[in-house]
Amino acid sequence: MSNNIVVYVADKVQFDGYQELVRKDVTITWVDSTLPLEEQVAQLQDAVVIIGDTQVEVASRCPNLKLIQGSSAGTDKMNLPALEDIGIKVANNGGANAIAVSEHTIALMMTVLRKLDIQFESVKERKWASKLVPDWWPYVHELTGSTVGIIGLGSIGRQVARRLAGWDCTLLYEDAVDHSPELEAELGVQRVTRDELLTRSDVVTLHVPLMEATRGMMSDREFGLMKKTAVLINTCRGPVVDEAALIRALNAKEIMAAGLDVLEVEPTPDDNPLIEMDNVSITPHVASVAQESWIRSREFAVQNPIRVANGGDPLAIVVPERP
């Protein structure tokens, strides 16, 4: 069978990465997403699958299109309900980056709790413990024995739970999806309401997709429920957190600290107060970055379209949020 899979990415480097994985009976063609709409549509007329974020204005004019295959966990840049209405499914990367993001999540926990970024900077400034002003020492804590609340027990949330098993943590979770007692027992997690999770947790870590139901889900009320010694970790999507409310909570010492890989606006403005806060550690939306996760993501992004082109059902389909 002759398959025609079109990679719809502006980054030529990503295209070259896909090329290394393609089977002989599959053709991958790079279509520059910065081209005018008419030029993109003209090149996509034979496409059965497009790999990469694709807007309805393009997809609706591709008569053979069955699947849009994402290369990341998030699909919030696409209008999923509108795509479903015209018969086009959307798949994410099937958890290919879950290990990398979960490791980064725990690294942020340790950075915040142990003040590692301040320690790294002190050595660069040639300052050792005996010469440091110990203002931050009272805020250094162990992760072991903490209660960690996981909001969203999807592929990344589950990997976080697995990796915390050796830390002797009490693991709570809250999710919109029901999970089996067997999975809960395997992960050592207890399901609670969101309010109970926020009230009891020493660390709250967010692993939900960005949609209307989750946009701004962490705001003034939620921070008010958390312990004054609690830490917020966000490695999912920036707008899940009401950033102004987070800044208020940190300034008012309603919570102790935050570790963030994502922000509401990226790149964030230079005058964002979070950047200068000593109790905030920020990484530049790189939690999924690892050679291993990239390989898994690319392999899935090629194999899923091959499955569709050969008449099979795609994996990791994202169900649109409907009012």
Query: Residue 291 in contact with residue 96, Cβ under 8 Å?
Result: no
Q: Residue 90 corresponds to which tokens in the numbers above?
A: 């959307």
Q: Domains of the chain, with CATH numbers?
A: 3-96+291-309 (3.40.50.720), 98-282 (3.40.50.720)
Q: 104 catalytic, yes or no?
A: no
**What's the pLDDT band for 22 if we cut at 50, 70, 90?**
low
Which pLDDT belongs to residue 75? 86
Please provide the average confidence, as pLDDT, over all residues in the chain. Answer: 90
DSSP character string of 232-282: EEE-S-GGGB-HHHHHHHHHTTSSSEEEES--SSSSPPTT-HHHH-TTEEE
CA triplet 42, 16, 62: central angle to 5 degrees?
Answer: 20
Give 63's contacts (C-beta < 8 A, 6+ positions apart).
Answer: 45
pLDDT exceeds 90 at position 15: no
Which pLDDT belongs to residue 19? 64
Bigger pLDDT: 303 or 263?
263
Q: 237 catalytic, yes or no?
A: yes
Q: What is the pTM of this model?
A: 0.88
Measured CA to CA, the distance from residue 148 to residue 164 in angstroms comes to 9
DSSP character string of 163-184: HHGGGT-EEEEE-SS---HHHH
Query: Residue 231 in contact with residue 204, Cβ under 8 Å?
Result: yes
For residue 225, the surrounding DSSP H or E stretch is: helix 220-225
Which pLDDT belongs to residue 272? 98
Which of the residues 141, 200, 237, 298 is marked catalytic?
Answer: 237
Measured CA to CA, the distance from residue 26 to residue 18 in angstroms comes to 11
Q: 207 catalytic, yes or no?
A: no
Which of the residues 125, 186, 266, 292 is marked catalytic?
Answer: 266
Q: Residue 142 corresponds to which tokens in the numbers above?
A: 């162990």
Which of the residues 103, 285, 307, 321 is marked catalytic?
Answer: 285
Q: Residue 3 corresponds to which tokens in the numbers above?
A: 């398959």
* pLDDT, tens digit (0-9, with 9 covering 90-100), for 132-170: 656 777 889 999 999 999 999 999 999 999 999 999 999
